Amino acid sequence: MKLATLTNPNFFSALNKLLTCDMPMKTAFKLNKEAIFLEEENKRYNSMRSKIINDFGDKNEDGTIKVVFSENKEAEAVARINELLLIEIEAGKYSVEDFGNATISPTDLFALGELIKE
């Protein structure tokens, strides 16, 4: 799974909804463990993204960072953030059958991306 999947604003909402569904114990255990891992990866991504913004962002007079970049820094900052988004992370793949009779909306299923396969 690409790290970019975690930046979808609906991903963690959909994952949390899925975590509340009744499902076989083994799947629930694995999915809970997976959710913790994915949250940590998302925190790591946000930390790295913040570092890039701090490194390339213009500074205000008080030392705080402007999220606006000067022209010569913007391309490099965007390239580095895009490079982060393309990183592959080891996430489990779950089949629809793993969830027993759990139900989830098509929108949430779409948001979960590569985490669930047919």
pLDDT band at 94 (very low <50, low <70, confident <90, very high): very high
pTM exceeds 0.75, yes or no? yes
- Tell me the CB-side half-sphere exposure of residue 45, using CA atoms within 13 A: 22
Name the residue range of residue 16's domain.
Answer: 3-117
How far is Cα of residue 51 from the mean position of the Cα atoms in its chain? Answer: 17
Whole-number pLDDT of residue 86: 93
* Overall domain count for the chain: 1
**Interatomic CA distance for residues 60 and 58, integer angstroms:** 7
In three-state secondary structure terms, 96 is: helix
Over the stretch 31-68, which tens digit does the pLDDT of each residue have? Answer: 999 999 999 999 999 999 989 888 887 777 787 776 67
